[in-house]
Amino acid sequence: MGERRTVHSWLEEYKESHRNRTNIIIHNFCVPVITFCVLGFAWSAPVPEALSFHPYLNISLLIIVPVFLYYLALSPTLAAGMGVFAGLSVGLLILLGRMNFAPLWALCLGLFAIAWIGQFIGHAIEGKKPSFFKDLQFLLIGPLWVLGGIYRRLGIRY
């Protein structure tokens, strides 16, 4: 077994293919949108009968809880921020569901596609492949990298 990686080593490696200013700006918008959409897809998924006793108990929790625990193991400070993001995302999903102007999954699908197109444009500008081509765990590191940038601007250590 290899040694356990720190959040700093993950973020430094992620940063290697995210140095171009335009790519960074694109990622700062697109990564949170993609993360929100993944939660939206899960929120929209049919709920097994065993979980249907509460209206907000759904498949998204099967994503949020283990990912939060992974983030907690890497950095409690970043996990707290991601917990806030998850809470705000769930609140927005509930609001969008109540507005009922379009199926939530369809809205998320459109946003998800646009955000991924943006990501690939950013990497074309950067001239480097997305990190997740090397290791799928980078799909979980991307949101931490965006949040880490916010933390650095606010002077919050993690």
In a domain, 155, yes or no: yes
The whole-number pLDDT of residue 65 equals: 93
What is the rounded (10 degree) CA torsion for 64, 70, 76, 80?
-10
Domain range for 131 is 54-158
The whole-number pLDDT of residue 2 equals: 57
In a domain, 23, yes or no: no
In a domain, 12, yes or no: no
Percent of the chain clearing pLDDT 90 (strictly above) = 84
**Tens digits of per-residue pLDDT, 100-109?**
889 999 999 9
In a domain, 30, yes or no: no
At residue 137 the predicted structure's pLDDT band, cuts being 50, 70 and 90, is very high
In a domain, 1, yes or no: no
